[in-house]
């Protein structure tokens, strides 16, 4: 009995480590690389979190009304390796985001690059980068 438990336990632990990775979505599942979009607007909030960080910004529409966009970026670690900090963006900052629009047509996008208020352009650490 000890031998069976001794063999099964490591296998179950390995399966548990793989399970969360297989549930992660790919870029192509949600975003369309044939629909690039350039968003210029004011940051509402920046959520520096895992598994993806999010930038929420208000972009002025053609009618002059603000349209709220949610922009997905990479994980905190991926962003950090590309020069981001948790306070890289603050509410009210004016930024420009080059991104790819969501397939469902919502005001959601996946960031390719983000131009910060100080003029630096940083990678959005998009999951598309791995393609």
Each residue's pLDDT tens digit, 16-28? 554 444 345 677 7
Each residue's pLDDT tens digit, 61-98? 999 999 999 999 999 999 999 999 999 999 999 999 99
The residue that leads in pLDDT, 5 or 10, is 10
- Confidence (pLDDT) at 22: 38
Mean pLDDT of 101-108: 95
Residue 2 confidence (pLDDT) above 80: no
Mean pLDDT of 34-41: 96
Confidence band of 12 (pLDDT split at 50, 70, 90): low
Answer whether 88's CB lies under 8 Å from 121's CB.
no
The fold of the 27-130 domain, in CATH, is OB fold (Dihydrolipoamide Acetyltransferase, E2P) (2.40.50)
The residues spanned by each domain of the chain are: 27-130
């Amino acid at each position: 009995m000890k031998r069976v438990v001794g063999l099964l336990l490591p296998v179950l632990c390995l399966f548990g480590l793989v399970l969360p990775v297989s549930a992660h979505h790919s870029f192509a599942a949600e975003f369309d690389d044939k629909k690039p979009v350039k968003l210029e607007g004011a940051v509402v909030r920046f959520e520096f979190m895992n598994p993806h960080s999010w930038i929420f910004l208000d972009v002025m529409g053609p009618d002059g009304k603000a349209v709220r966009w949610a922009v997905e970026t990479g994980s905190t670690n991926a962003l950090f390796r590309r020069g981001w900090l948790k306070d890289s963006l603050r509410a009210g900052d004016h930024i420009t985001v080059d991104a790819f629009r969501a397939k469902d047509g919502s005001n959601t996008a996946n960031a390719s690059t983000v131009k910060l208020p100080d003029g630096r352009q940083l990678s959005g650490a998009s999951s598309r980068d791995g393609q």
